[in-house]
Amino acid sequence: MITIEGVSRVRGRARILHEVSFEARAGRVTGFLGPNGAGKTSTLRVLLGLDRAQGGRALIDGRRYVDLDRPLTVAGALLDGSGAHRARTARAHLRWMAASNGLPKRRVDEVLELVGLAGEAGKRAGRYSLGMSRRLGLAAALLGDPPVLILDEPVNGLDPAGIRWMRAFLRDSAAEGRTVLLSSHLMGELAETADDVVIIDHGVVKADGTLAEVVGSHATLEDAFLARTAGEGASW
């Protein structure tokens, strides 16, 4: 369970997040939707303790991420890129991550197998394609078999087969009882995977509810989204 409570963040003079509040519940996929620059990544970075908020609280199972003793066993995060130094092999990257949280070495091979990288585990991360980098990032997120998954634009850079795989993976994870929070600017994608939807624009939450509630009387999630974010063309 993820709890975001009144999180505000200012950078210089710019207001990045303003009193952002929502919850992502266990056993459900929560889609965090917004145009580029709306504050999705910022919210996730505050949740992971990478960026500081000037106000509010962002908690995972009631605790701040930075206070977790073995964070990889509580929450797995997929942010931009693979997270691996480009000169390191994928296996070496996952091995140090496993060591940092006292996880057994066999978990490394298990997650490599799970994301379909077992055959390329000895390759340097810098030589990976975009899709492979995402898979490696996901493998790292899954190392500790965490009950909470936090994913920033997880389908970015994936080919159609990869997107389908990711969709099934996220649904399965929620079905197993995990909390899945993913951000996206792709409405069609979210409409297919999310149970709950949070719409954010200019750092302010515009809608929050189940997919059906957020779509409401609109024909599609896209229509609902555009109606709530000041219409088309606003973000580009």
Partner 1 sequence: MVNGHGAAGRGGAVQGRGGAVRGSWGWPVRAELRKLLSLPTAWVGLVLGLVAAPLLVFVSAGGTRKAIEEGFHADPSDAAFQPLGIGLLGALILGVVVLSSEYTSTGEDAPGARQLQATLAAMPRRGRLLVAKGVALSLLVAAQGAITSVVTLTLSRMVLGDLVPAASPGRAAAVVLYWVLLGLLAYALTLIFRSGVVTLTVLIVNSSVVSVSYLLTKVTPLAAYLPDIVGAHMFLHQVGDVHIAPVTAGVVMTAWVAALLILGGWMFRRREP
Query: By C-beta, is 28 or 228 nearer to partner 1?
Result: 28
- Closest contact distance (angstroms) between CB of 87 and partner 1 is 5
The sign of the CA dihedral 222, 224, 227, 230 is: negative
Q: Give residues in contact with partner 1 (CB under 8 A).
A: 26, 48-52, 61, 65-66, 68-74, 77, 79-89, 92-93, 95-97, 99-103, 125-126, 128, 130, 133, 140, 144-148, 157, 176-178
Query: How many whole angstroms separate alpha carbon 5 and alpha carbon 7?
Result: 6
Contact 24, 218 (CB under 8 A): no
| Inter-residue long-range contacts of 109-115, CB under 8 Å, 24+ positions, other chains counted | 111/139, 111/140, 111/142, 111/143, 112/139, 114/139, 114/142, 115/139, 115/142
138 closest CA partner among 162, 119, 159:
162
Query: By C-beta, is 102 or 188 nearer to partner 1?
Result: 102
Measure the N-to-C terminal CA separation of the chain; round to a whole number of Å: 34
Structure tokens at 120: 């390329």
- Closest contact distance (angstroms) between CB of 214 and partner 1 is 27
- Closest contact distance (angstroms) between CB of 192 and partner 1 is 23
- Closest contact distance (angstroms) between CB of 94 and partner 1 is 10
- Identity of the amino acid at 213: E
- Closest contact distance (angstroms) between CB of 236 and partner 1 is 20
Query: By C-beta, is 127 or 164 nearer to partner 1?
Result: 127
Query: By C-beta, is 45 or 206 nearer to partner 1?
Result: 45
Query: By C-beta, is 72 or 224 nearer to partner 1?
Result: 72
Q: Cα 7–234–9 angle (5° rounding)? A: 15
- Closest contact distance (angstroms) between CB of 91 and partner 1 is 9
Query: By C-beta, is 64 or 220 nearer to partner 1?
Result: 64
- Closest contact distance (angstroms) between CB of 207 and partner 1 is 28
34 closest CA partner among 181, 151, 186, 213:
186
Query: How many whole angstroms separate alpha carbon 70 and alpha carbon 103?
Result: 9
Query: By C-beta, is 8 or 73 nearer to partner 1?
Result: 73
- The number of angstroms, rounded, from the C-alpha of 174 to the middle of its chain's C-alpha atoms is 13
